[in-house]
Amino acid sequence: MSRHPMALFTIFPGKCRSLFQFRPAAASFLHDLRRKKVLVICRSGNRSSQATKLLRNNGFTNVYNVLGGMNHWPGPVEK
């Protein structure tokens, strides 16, 4: 299974990893994202809400939780 280059918390397709198990190699990538717009999404919105809070507590200023997660995503989803 391949990983999307932007996926730090998610293995595509459809398998989520724990918020606290993101790849250590992504540290520099995360640093570069601190001032960029970041949207965080999971299946229901619960884990993404936690991730959003964690990112904000670590200096991210433009980070948003996608409310309702993929359960409420209005567009098509590839499986």
Provide the domain count of the chain: 1
Q: To 5 degrees, how large is the angle CA 53–CA 56–CA 57?
A: 85
Domain limits for position 53: 26-79
Give a yes or no: residue 12 inside a domain: no
Residue 60 has what pLDDT?
Answer: 87
Give a yes or no: residue 4 inside a domain: no
Query: Does residue 2 surpass a pLDDT of 80?
Result: no
Give a yes or no: residue 10 inside a domain: no
Give a yes or no: residue 41 inside a domain: yes
Q: What is the pTM of this model?
A: 0.63
Which of 78, 74, 63, 77 has its CA nearest to residue 9? Answer: 63
20-78: pLDDT as tens digits:
455 555 666 677 778 888 888 888 999 889 888 888 888 888 999 999 998 998 888 77
Give a yes or no: residue 39 inside a domain: yes
Which of 13, 60, 19, 23 has its CA nearest to residue 39? Answer: 60
Query: Does residue 14 surpass a pLDDT of 50?
Result: no
